[in-house]
Structure 1
Amino acid sequence: MLVEERYSGCLLGLACGDAVGTTVEFSPRGTFAPLTDMVGGGPFRLRLGEWTDDTSMALCLGHSLLAQGGFDAADQMQRYVAWMQHGYMSSNGVCFDIGNTVQQALNAFLQTGNPFAGSTEPQTAGNGSIMRLAPVPMFYGADVAKAIHFSGESSRTTHGAAVCMDACKLLGAMLVVALRGGTKEEVLETTVYTPTTPEIQTIAAGNYKTKPYEQIKGSGYVVASLEAALYCFYHTNNFRDAILMAANLGDDADTTAAICGQVAGAFYGKSGIPSDWRSAVAMGAEIEQMALGLLGV
């Protein structure tokens, strides 16, 4: 498979996961008829293919990396603020579904000018930085050490808790392996990054693989969120099934599916994403153009 396929798949996969999962966002697992397709609707009454904050922030991050030629925390935060205030990079022109931790960090940045505004408090360890991660390991894909470092730094702007940064570093490493064509085992058991927090060490060790499905949670907590996304990738053998399993966990369904979509999209490639999802997803051509830009083609 061409590397262009994997890059397009990674970013389109994030957006498609987001667009599928938003339909049952905030609904506890078991309280809704399981999703079998991308259908739109949900709490924000979105049109088919429209996505939420996960993809908006990922596109802000990707545009910043390309415009600045690398990692510029202040520029990233300015773009996130433009999304918050003006709907920049929104699928429908307005900002919606913004997380509390993100909003607090952006307001702090506006007051102080310090772009590393993410709270370091453990109780703020949400999934709002890992959900948008893909552009960082994509941009730094040729240098895994830089990819891992800047994956952590990309969290610190809004989510400074150690476990958030560690989760982003592990996923960043996994995405580089996937973008390079690694096997599923090589992706999930990568040794290019050794986590520093016990929670992420447990995920790197693959403990989730043998957990009962009932114990997998689609919550907003970054550890549960990454675990759920990797569980769904591990226990399925195609993009569609991985995303539907992730979304049907409910609760923070759009983000679980967006995280899963980054890995599954890079692994299965653009052609592994259902063609009707690819054609329906909002701003699909722009997302694919950004993916190829991050590759440097």
Structure 2
Amino acid sequence: MDVTDRAVGVLLGCATGDALGAAYEFQPPLAPDVPVEMRGERGTRFAPGEWTDDTAMSVPLAQAAAAGRDLLARDTLDWVVGEWMRWAETSSDIGAQTKNVFARLREPDAKAAAAAGREVHELTGRSGGNGSVMRTAPVALAFLDDERGLAEAARTISRLTHFDPDAGDACVLWCLAIRHTVLTGQLDVRVGLGALGGEAAERWSLLLDDAEGKQPSDFQRNGWVVEALQGAWSAICAGVDLVDVLERAVRGGNDTDTVAAIAGSLAGAAYGAGGIPTQWRDIVHGWPGLTADDLADLAARIVSRHAVR
């Protein structure tokens, strides 16, 4: 398994976890012996294998990085926000925080989006949902050759919709962990603690310790970014392979697609693209008309531009 295979695993793991969890969202935890099936959402919103907002919002970031665009450049971020708004025009699956931010925008403008995110936070007193960490995986691939730039980009892109420091911290931690795993093949979620510094690093270290002794079902407030990340990390720690990790994340209940997408992005880096069963990969698809093979191509193109030489 090489860097490219692990990078492909990042995007495919995220999308597969997302699609797998779609059928179980907002339902209670499942017993360990209940099978988890790639069946789509009950009703008409998502077909079997179709990803939700988690992957849809990550796609423009992956496309920009694959095209060689700088994810910290204002024009790139404006374009990403524009693509998100285009997706939102036809989507029925938008997180509350993101929806509130978009409602305040009249044109695709990254600076205005970040200002709207702060405004929503100040008006409501909260913006620590999991909606920015769910989409953050492509950012890690775009900075394989720039660890310091990755920490800055992860937080900057999080703040386009989520002002709360917890959301930014989670994106920094997860992106740096993905980068490390893609480059080395070793899982270590704590490699990013130094980028947080001080009290935040100490707090997140304790939160990760807590997750390692529990199961995803122990984190029922997983719409909150902290428990979403804890639930994802607990699934990775307990899982024996990529399928097991994703199924454990889904069995945790509640925001199943997001926790499984988050877990899948990091576990996918560890187990690579080959960890995803063919019967799942063959049907994974979603906005804007892409397939798993398209995501694999995006990941390979990003690596060709940003791999450490």
**Is the alpha carbon distance of 1:50 and 1:191 closer, same or farther for their aligned partners in structure 2, counting shifts above 3 Å?**
closer
Aligned counterparts of 1:195 and 1:125: Cα–Cα separation in 2? 16
Matched residue, 1:19: 19
Post-superposition Cα deviations, 1:126-158, rounded to whole Å, max 9, x if no partner, equal 000000001101011111111111011110001
Question: Are residues 1:240 and 2:243 paired?
Answer: yes
Question: Are residues 1:118 and 2:117 paired?
Answer: yes
Regions of 4+ moved over 6 Å: none
Secondary structure of 2:105's partner? helix
Matched residue, 1:106: 102
Give the root-mean-square deviation of aligned CA atoms.
Answer: 2.3
How far has the Cα of 1:163 moved from its partner?
Answer: 0.7
Question: Are residues 1:150 and 2:153 paired?
Answer: yes
**Is the alpha carbon distance of 1:249 and 1:258 closer, same or farther for their aligned partners in structure 2, counting shifts above 3 Å?**
same
Conserved? CA contact 2:218–2:252, under 8 Å: no
Matched residue, 1:83: 87
Unpaired runs of 5+ residues, structure 2, are 286-290
Does 137-146 or 118-127 show the bigger shift? 118-127
1:275 alignment partner, one of 278, 293, 299: 278
Aligned counterparts of 2:226 and 2:270: Cα–Cα separation in 1? 22
Conserved? CA contact 1:173–1:192, under 8 Å: no
How far has the Cα of 1:218 moved from its partner?
Answer: 6.0
Secondary structure of 1:180's partner? helix
Post-superposition Cα deviations, 1:231-283, rounded to whole Å, max 9, x if no partner, equal 00011110000000001111110000000000011110000111211112111
Matched residue, 2:191: 190
Question: Are residues 1:40 and 2:40 paired?
Answer: yes
2:140 alignment partner, one of 129, 132, 137: 137
Aligned counterparts of 1:68 and 1:30: Cα–Cα separation in 2? 42
Conserved? CA contact 1:16–1:281, under 8 Å: yes
Matched residue, 1:227: 230
**Is the alpha carbon distance of 1:266 and 1:218 closer, same or farther for their aligned partners in structure 2, counting shifts above 3 Å?**
farther
Conserved? CA contact 1:23–1:43, under 8 Å: no
Question: Are residues 1:7 and 2:32 paired?
Answer: no
Does 57-66 or 30-39 show the bigger shift? 30-39
Conserved? CA contact 1:14–1:55, under 8 Å: yes
How far has the Cα of 1:189 moved from its partner?
Answer: 3.1
How far has the Cα of 1:31 moved from its partner?
Answer: 9.1
Matched residue, 1:69: 69
Secondary structure of 2:265's partner? helix
Matched residue, 1:159: 162
Letter in structure 2 aligned against 1:292: A
Conserved? CA contact 1:23–1:39, under 8 Å: yes
Identity %: 29
Matched residue, 1:203: 207
**Is the alpha carbon distance of 1:213 and 1:168 closer, same or farther for their aligned partners in structure 2, counting shifts above 3 Å?**
closer
Does 264-273 or 30-39 show the bigger shift? 30-39
What is the TM-score when the length of structure 1 is the normalising length? 0.88
Matched residue, 1:291: 299
Conserved? CA contact 1:10–1:264, under 8 Å: yes
Conserved? CA contact 2:66–2:299, under 8 Å: no
Aligned counterparts of 2:4 and 2:170: Cα–Cα separation in 1? 26
Aligned counterparts of 2:68 and 2:269: Cα–Cα separation in 1? 24
Letter in structure 2 aligned against 1:77: V
Secondary structure of 2:153's partner? helix
Letter in structure 2 aligned against 1:20: L
Matched residue, 1:91: none
Conserved? CA contact 2:235–2:249, under 8 Å: yes
Conserved? CA contact 1:173–1:193, under 8 Å: no
**Is the alpha carbon distance of 1:2 and 1:218 closer, same or farther for their aligned partners in structure 2, counting shifts above 3 Å?**
farther
Does 20-29 or 221-230 show the bigger shift? 20-29
Within 5 Å, which residues of 2 pair with 1:53-68?
53-67=53-67
Aligned counterparts of 1:99 and 1:32: Cα–Cα separation in 2? 29
How far has the Cα of 1:188 moved from its partner?
Answer: 2.5
Conserved? CA contact 1:229–1:256, under 8 Å: yes
How far has the Cα of 1:167 moved from its partner?
Answer: 0.7
How far has the Cα of 1:292 moved from its partner?
Answer: 1.1
